[in-house]
Amino acid sequence: MATSQPQGEKNSAADLLHHYIQCGQNLLERCHQQEHVQGIQKLEKKCQAEVRFLKSLENTAFDECRLKSSNLGHYAALVHAIENASGVTQVVQPFSCTNRTESLYVDVVALKGLAWIKVVARKAQALHLIWAGQGQFGERDLLFQAQDFVDCSSEHPVNFNIPRVVFAFYNGITIPMAKALENIGVTVLGKQVPVAPDIEEKLLELSLADAEDSEDDGSEFIDSDAHLASSLSIPQRCIGTTEYIPLSSSSDYIVQHSGEISKDLCTQQSTSEESESDTDSNHIHGQRSRPNQAPCMEAVTSVDQFVQKELLTCELIDYEHMLCSIFSDRDSDTDSIQNVNLDITALITLVSAMTHGRCNFIFPEKILSQQAAEERQRPALPSLTKFLKGKKQFACQTAVDSFHEILDMLGGKSEIERAKELLEKVTVVKDSPSHQAMDLPETSKIKRRSKIIFGTGDTLKAVTVTANSGFVRAAEHQGVKFAVFLHASRALTEKKEQYATPIQ
């Protein structure tokens, strides 16, 4: 039977619920605007489920703590990251790892794959307690998760660059935790705060209490904090500092203090955020009592204000700073690429008469007329030359030999001259395809010549510039992903112009 609430508290709770529902609907609308991002439907479904749950509370008496355990804070942070990070391509994306039986989920893949962002909306002090070994039984602290991210990212390079792991803390992070994360190679974004005095006192009390219990059992100790902490399998506390070195927590210790710890976490935390990297909920739920602490809804005049005041209490993350920190003075993500491997299609496109102003024709061959029409609408050369600028260009012997054969048969005078100038800038290397390329089974889309060309780029750690999207997709279906830059296909057309119809 539902307990009755005083009228004032009831109205306050109803107002708070209304703001939560409004926030959830706002997030749904913003998700819908990001339809181009792969995986956004997963986030949209999670927001829909949260709104349905919140609406189910409208005609019931409910405890305010049910709202405080909502996922909306985490989802609001995710949406903010999607909207503000550059080059977002995927959301809630699974990646396989050799040291994990299950996939690792990356919240936001940004900078066209070069940044893996994990969004953290839990309060800084609650995170610190878990890191210090005072979480609930089985709860993994953030450093273990961070190491998984670092290890996994090394297995999924983008254009031969390992993605940067970024942890974005929307409700702050303690300074010792931030340092520990940075030490293992994680970029930390968010406000860094000292460990709260009451958290330090709590950890000290638990350490001393456990030390007394161990002394009663007849254990021998040396009079030092380091030995004490090591013997108890709890964090080593440095005297006079806020530095903690997390060790594996004893199961018996956590179970023994679980009631005390659970209460502490629930009073420290006003939002909850999943402890694993995917967005499936693994929240800490407890009996939260917040007498006389109902938020003043009159001060909240918009959804954005509600998110910042109630769900995410620190400053929103500056993703522009992240972009600068990763790429320093570079202009874009493609500037991280140093070497390129030119496929036959790229060599032809770079010298074709069609891409050099001779596209106003209708050719007898339908495919050539289609390419000419595309060229008039979207010229292929500008984006291609922009990508190649400042990069060292390679081509393997097989690609160059095949290019010469096509030139001899189809090339016009100016196309042959441009080809000569182009090859003077290209470093021709012997065929040296990688094992993963040559092991691909040959099919209608996977030819031996393509395996040699793409495989040589693989060995050179060079991005292959190609219009052969069929080979790229077929290789991906076989589990082999090549680093490529895809461009529009163009043919040699100078000799064909004499049979074509000029158009205005």
CATH assignment at residue 107: 3.40.1350.10
Q: Which residues pair with 193 in a beta bridge?
A: 174
Residue 68 lies in a domain: no
* One domain, residues 317 and 343: no
Q: Provide the pLDDT for residue 121.
A: 87
**Which of these ranges, 85-99, 194-208, 323-337, has the smallest mean pLDDT?**
323-337
Q: Provide the pLDDT for residue 160.
A: 85
* One domain, residues 390 and 438: yes
* One domain, residues 493 and 431: yes
Residue whose C-alpha is closest to residue 107's, from 235, 291, 286, 276:
276
Cβ-count burial of 378 within 10 angstroms (0-12 exposed, 13-18 middle, 19+ buried)?
A: exposed
Q: Label residue 346 by pLDDT band (50, 70, 90).
A: very high
Q: What is the CATH number of the domain that holds 439?
A: 3.40.50.1010
* One domain, residues 421 and 390: yes
* One domain, residues 139 and 241: yes
Residue 40 lies in a domain: no
Mean per-residue pLDDT for 362-382?
95
Residue 452 lies in a domain: yes
Selected residue with higher pLDDT from 256 and 58: 58
Mean per-residue pLDDT for 473-478?
92
Tokens 């074509």 sit on residue: 500
pLDDT of 355 strictly over 70 = yes
The structure's pTM equals: 0.64
Q: Provide the pLDDT for residue 343.
A: 97
Residue 359 lies in a domain: yes
* One domain, residues 383 and 289: no
Mean per-residue pLDDT for 360-383?
95
Name the phi and psi angles at 116, rounded to 5.
-105, 115
How far is residue 360's CA from residue 372's CA, in Å, rounded to a whole number?
A: 7
Q: Provide the pLDDT for residue 230.
A: 39
pLDDT of 70 strictly over 70 = yes
Q: Provide the pLDDT for residue 353.
A: 96
How confident is the model over 311-328, as pLDDT tens digits? Answer: 666 567 777 666 665 554
* Torsion, Cα of 285, 286, 288, 294 (10° steps): 0
Residue 34 lies in a domain: no
Q: Provide the pLDDT for residue 209.
A: 65
* One domain, residues 360 and 322: no
Residue 245 lies in a domain: yes
Q: Provide the pLDDT for residue 16.
A: 83
Q: Provide the pLDDT for residue 135.
A: 55
**DSSP string of 228-244, one letter each residue:** HHHHHTSPEEPTTS--E
How far is residue 468's CA from residue 452's CA, in Å, rounded to a whole number?
A: 14
pLDDT of 251 strictly over 70 = no
* One domain, residues 145 and 277: yes
* One domain, residues 288 and 341: no
Element (H, E) at 167: strand 164-169
Selected residue with higher pLDDT from 330 and 369: 369
pLDDT of 41 strictly over 60 = yes
Name the phi and psi angles at 260, rounded to 5.
-65, -40
How far is residue 104's CA from residue 313's CA, in Å, rounded to a whole number?
A: 28
Mean per-residue pLDDT for 141-169?
89
Q: Provide the pLDDT for residue 210.
A: 60
Residue 37 tokens read as: 């991002």
Q: Report which residue type is found at 458.
A: D
How far is residue 20's CA from residue 50's CA, in Å, rounded to a whole number?
A: 10
Residue 494 lies in a domain: yes
Tokens 């949406």 sit on residue: 79
Q: What percent of the chain has pLDDT over 70?
A: 72
**What is the number of other CB atoms lying within 10 angstroms of the CB of residue 492?**
22
Q: Provide the pLDDT for residue 57.
A: 87
How far is residue 137's CA from residue 140's CA, in Å, rounded to a whole number?
A: 9
Number of domains composing the chain: 2
Mean per-residue pLDDT for 479-498?
93
* One domain, residues 274 and 391: no
Selected residue with higher pLDDT from 409 and 235: 409
pLDDT of 47 strictly over 60 = yes
Is residue 161 within 8 Å of 327, Cβ to Cβ? no
Q: Provide the pLDDT for residue 496.
A: 94
Q: Provide the pLDDT for residue 112.
A: 85
How far is residue 387's CA from residue 383's CA, in Å, rounded to a whole number?
A: 6
Q: Provide the pLDDT for residue 48.
A: 93
Residue 305 tokens read as: 């204000």
Q: Label residue 336 by pLDDT band (50, 70, 90).
A: low
pLDDT of 269 strictly over 60 = no
Q: Provide the pLDDT for residue 1.
A: 46
How far is residue 171's CA from residue 121's CA, in Å, rounded to a whole number?
A: 6
SS (H, E, C) 315-368: CCCCHHHHHHHHHCCCCCHHHHCCEEEECHHHHHHHHCCHHHCCCCEECCCHHH
Cβ-count burial of 238 within 10 angstroms (0-12 exposed, 13-18 middle, 19+ buried)?
A: middle
Q: Label residue 208 by pLDDT band (50, 70, 90).
A: confident
Range of the domain at 261: 74-297+310-327
Selected residue with higher pLDDT from 242 and 79: 79
Q: What percent of the chain has pLDDT over 90?
A: 48
Residue 135 tokens read as: 């979480």
Q: Provide the pLDDT for residue 308.
A: 65
Is residue 136 within 8 Å of 284, Cβ to Cβ? yes
* One domain, residues 323 and 372: no
223: DSSP letter: S
Residue 159 lies in a domain: yes
* One domain, residues 361 and 392: yes
Element (H, E) at 225: helix 225-232
